[in-house]
Amino acid sequence: MNNNHNSHYQNQRNLHQGRPQRETVQESIPIGQRIPLTIKRLGINGEGIGYFKHTICFVKGALPDEVVTATVTEIHPRYMIAKLHTIRQKSPNRVEPRDPFADEVGGFELEHLSYPAQLEFKQDVVRQALEKYRPSGYKYYKLLPTIGMDNPYEYRNKAQFQVRVLDGKVAAGLYKENSHDLVDLPTCSVQHPLIMKVMRRVVELLEAYQVPIYDEEHGSGIVKTIVVRVAVATNEVQLVFITNSTKLPHKRDLITELQKRFPEIVSYMQNVNKGKTSLVWGDDTTLLAGKTFIQDKLEDLTFNLSARAFYQLNPYQTAKLYDEARKALELSPNDNLVDAYSGVGTIGLSLAAQAKEVRGMDIIPESIEDANENAKLNGITNAKYQVGKAEEVLPQWMAEGFHPDALVVDPPRTGLDDVLIQTILTSKPERFVYISCNPSTLARDLAQLTKTYIVDYIQSIDMFPQTARCEAVVKFTRRH
Ligand SMILES: C[S@@+](CC[C@H](N)C(=O)[O-])C[C@H]1O[C@@H](n2cnc3c(N)ncnc32)[C@H](O)[C@@H]1O
């Protein structure tokens, strides 16, 4: 999951600059040496942090207050990375991970940490990010305790598993971190159980019908990825085969067999993504059987979801997230609301009854089609969505005379584009809420946004239990 491995450690190391460097670690210890460490805290990706000869050392899998030995694997000028060898003194917060592959693939970084401690960590991650970027007044921001789940497992409504042949058998799962080595996942504690049942049946059928599986090295074979998404409120399931060619041998057999066992699958799709590419999805998505979308419900609204559309991955926490956004925004009936980075319009549409007009935008055309369709489906007449980049569409609307009174931004992990930040700083919407899935880019953006806004509080919400990922809602007040 972490493609930015070295820059990530570099960033964390920057938090610890200023310490006098006596002897450089390169001079004093070789790679492969085993060192003792006392773990002080967790870093932003959930790794244990200790110090050896005044140099920060990251140890994946180690927990705060643990005394460990670790084998040095990488030495950089001002930080090092070591592999956990022995735990001499165990944290009382250490628990047995449910998934045997938890330390191999990304997305299970905290499965060895008790859930209450995970929630504390997520509040702390926000604090760490603020300390790095130091937005105005950051020391006084109110950081509210993280809102967690009662059952922090089986929450994911979508699996996107790579498919390969391993030891002569079809396997579907995730890559080992920083590699393309696949780990087969016959079970997965965070996935909705129906998703795993569908996934494993698909694997069995691909094997039984000897459907050619993609071979990355030679660029040959056909099935690359399987995507299964469930709408938990309706139990409708969508299955997408992502393939290396427009052909999908035995597609009729596969669908017939799946239909026998899973009436829940109402949408069978194929997406074509030819050749070697770092992108999982190609541009062409076609219907194989059933309908092109599944339907989910959030509170009293119904949403159509196409295969490519972004939709929150934890439906149980989504309602809480949107509730926090609604509370923080404090809309007035005369407000023009902008739902920036809208996906299928879930946030804006759930707020439309409290606003005069809702406008939203997203770069994925299918999401926007869904968003406008979703407005109709729910009888909402004061909302419209447009395809495009937030940083281009909002200035365009404003040039046309539209003034946003209220703004919700919910950007991807990269945070807000600089042009959008400037647009916000000049248009100064009275009400403004930032929903962030990456505390680092949030803190970076706050450094600019706090020129015009005061941060009232930051509410962290755990959308991804067992991972180091953290979601947060920021409530602002405009400066006068
Ligand atoms: C974190 S999701 C939020 C979606 C939605 N608000 C929700 O709650 O389901 C971010 C969305 O931003 C879209 N996106 C990415 N870059 C964008 C940009 N520059 N302008 C507008 N939308 C963008 C993505 O397609 C994705 O749907």
For Cα atoms 216, 220, 222, give the angle at the middle one, nearest 5 degrees.
95
| Pocket of ligand 1 contains residue 183 by CB under 6 Å | no
How far, CA to CA in Å, does 15 sit from each of 10, 12, 115, 132, 413? 9, 5, 26, 6, 20
> Smallest Cα–Cα separation from 73: which of 9, 143, 1, 168?
9
**Per-residue pLDDT of the chain in tens (480 residues, 90 and over written 9):** 344 445 555 555 544 444 444 556 556 778 999 999 999 999 989 999 999 999 999 999 999 999 999 999 999 988 999 999 999 999 999 999 999 999 999 999 999 999 999 999 999 999 999 999 999 999 999 999 999 999 999 999 999 999 999 999 999 999 998 899 999 999 999 999 999 999 999 999 999 999 999 999 999 999 999 999 999 999 999 999 999 999 999 999 999 999 999 999 999 999 999 988 889 999 999 999 999 999 999 989 999 999 998 899 999 999 999 999 999 999 999 999 999 999 999 999 999 999 999 999 999 999 999 999 999 999 999 999 999 999 999 999 999 999 999 999 999 999 999 999 999 999 999 999 999 999 999 999 999 999 999 999 999 999 999 999 999 999 999 998
Domains of the chain: which residue ranges? 5-94, 119-150+304-478, 158-298
| Residue to probe by mutation, ligand 1, list 313, 362, 397, 418, most atoms within 8 Å of CB | 362
Can 5-94 and 158-298 be said to share one CATH topology?
yes
Q: Ligand 1 centre and the CA of 4: distance in Å?
A: 21
With beta carbons less than 8 A apart as the criterion, state whether 321 and 163 touch.
Answer: no
Angle between helices 418-427 and 439-449 (to 10 degrees): 40
Known binder of ligand: residue 124?
no
| 437 has catalytic annotation | yes
Phi, psi of 348 (to 5 degrees): -60, -45
Amino acid identity of 480?
H
- The CATH homologous superfamily for domain 119-150+304-478 is Vaccinia Virus protein VP39 (3.40.50.150)
Residue nearest to atom 6 of ligand 1 (CA): 342
Q: What residues does 185 pair with on adjacent strands?
A: none
For the CA of 311, the nearest atom of ligand 1: 9
365 lines ligand 1 (CB under 6 A): no
For 5-94, the fitting CATH number among 2.60.40.10, 3.40.1400.10, 2.40.50.140, 2.30.110.10 is 2.40.50.140
> Tokens in use for 154?
């089986």
**What DSSP designation does 191 have?**
B
Binding residue per annotation — 341? yes
Q: Is 362 annotated as a binding residue?
A: yes
263 lines ligand 1 (CB under 6 A): no
Question: 346 alpha carbon to ligand 1 midpoint, in Å?
Answer: 11
CATH C-level class of 158-298: mainly beta
User: Collapsing DSSP states into helix, strand and coil, what is residue 77?
Assistant: coil
Q: Which of 297, 394, 282 is nearest to 338 (CA)?
A: 394
**Distance in angstroms (rounded) separating the CA atoms of residues 61 and 50:** 12
Q: Of all protein residues, whose CA lies closest to atom 1 belonging to ligand 1?
A: 412
C-alpha 214 to ligand 1 mean position (Å): 30
What pTM value is reported for the model? 0.90
The number of the ligand 1 atom at minimal distance from the alpha carbon of 310 is 27
- This complex has an ipTM of 0.99
209 CA from centroid of ligand 1 (Å): 38
**Is 422 labelled a binding residue?**
no
